[in-house]
Amino acid sequence: MKVSKILVSQPRPAVIEKSPFFEFSEKNNLNVDYKPLIKVVGVSLKEFRAQRTEILDHTTMIFSSRTTIDSFFRICEEARITVPETMKYICNTEAVALYLQKYIVYRKRKIFFADGQFDVVRRSIQPSEIWQNPCNSHRAQAFAGLESETNGNGLMVANRGLHEYEILRDGRNTLAVTLLRAVGEIGDWGVFPTPLGQKKGTWTLEYSMIPYTTDNRAEGYREGYTFSYPAVLAVGTPKHEGAMPATADYVRFNNEYIRMSAFKKAEYSNNVILRLFNIESKTVTLTIDVSPVFQAARLTNLGEEKIADVEIKNGQITLDVPAKKIVTIELV
């Protein structure tokens, strides 16, 4: 008897290509129907009360499936029971533990952060309820990290070229950094082959783990930026005489919340462009020591168009940098 059609007693998978029956059916030219034959339904509040069980008499719950989690919190809501934060939960699989986050926030609450373009972005560790994608990865320019909401202590991972990270919903708030993306296919909602994406060979990866406390968070940021973007200034000239010293500081400032993103020749002149940004959520007053070779200064926009003149007084520029703002200074 030739088999041509198979009935599988489970719901149709959301991504059919990932079903264990897909490759088998394709290889043998079979038709596969997915039909659930059973339905698990939680007990009603009346049925639960008939068992004479008091939920608040227990300190720990063991969940074996998502359905039991839904039923437990539904009964608590209908019975107007407030589940205490001290309640402990044990789940038999990682998938069930991740699903539990639909109803509770882990007691060791954390937030995560990463630097972006001209900023350090802080996000809640819990994605939006409408986010259904199993992957919740983000991009970091220089570093990413986790920080406790209770005491402000944290750990960041600074990188050189490793720009993807994710906080795993594994019950432990694991910070995962992508070291090498070499896959045969991509996509959460389908299969998209990448035959040239294997990246075979030897790779050298550089990253640094930087712990910090709430008192030296800004110093941690500074260390992260320094590791990822070490300052390098190279100027080539023919041999010649000159009045300038062999070593000198063109600009100098010391502020834990102000970062420099550019120090370069201006696009349309021989002047110098200094670009800074404020990662703090409040206005910061900044004092910059400038070399005597600069006779004037002016604020410009990102296109290096003049906005206003800036006074150089006693070899210093003083200005207020608003929260989360970029400031571009042209030195003449």
DSSP string, 216-258: GHHHHHHHHHHHHS---------S---SS-SS--SEE---TTE
pLDDT at 114: 61
pLDDT at 167: 83
pLDDT band at residue 129 using 50, 70 and 90 as cut-offs: low
Q: Averaged over 140-156, what is the pLDDT?
A: 82
Tell me which of 262 and 110 has the higher pLDDT.
262
- Architecture of domain 251-331 in CATH? Sandwich (2.60)
Ordered by start, the domain boundaries in the chain are 5-34, 45-100, 110-228, 251-331
Asked whether the predicted pLDDT for residue 94 surpasses 70, the reply is no
How do beta strands 326-331 and 154-159 pair? Answer: unpaired
- Is 0.75 topped by the overall pTM? no
pLDDT at 298: 93
pLDDT at 236: 67
Sign of CA dihedral 160, 174, 153, 111: positive
CATH topology of domain 110-228: Beta-galactosidase; Chain A, domain 5 (2.70.98)
**Other Cβ atoms within 10 Å of 16 Cβ, number:** 14
Asked whether the predicted pLDDT for residue 109 surpasses 60, the reply is no
In this structure, the chain runs to a length of: 332
Amino acid sitting at position 241? E
Average pLDDT of the chain?
Answer: 81
Digit-coded pLDDT (tens) for 5-33: 888 787 777 667 767 777 777 777 778 88
pLDDT at 185: 77
Asked whether the predicted pLDDT for residue 266 surpasses 70, the reply is yes
Digit-coded pLDDT (tens) for 182-236: 777 776 666 778 877 777 788 888 888 988 887 778 788 888 888 887 766 666 6
Helices (H), the chain: 20-27, 45-50, 66-78, 94-100, 217-228
Asked whether the predicted pLDDT for residue 328 surpasses 90, the reply is yes
How do beta strands 306-310 and 297-300 pair? Answer: antiparallel
Tell me which of 319 and 152 has the higher pLDDT.
319
Q: Which residues of 146-159 are buried (b: 16+ CB within 10 A; e: fewer)?
A: bbeeeeeebebbbb
Digit-coded pLDDT (tens) for 30-51: 788 888 887 778 889 899 989 8
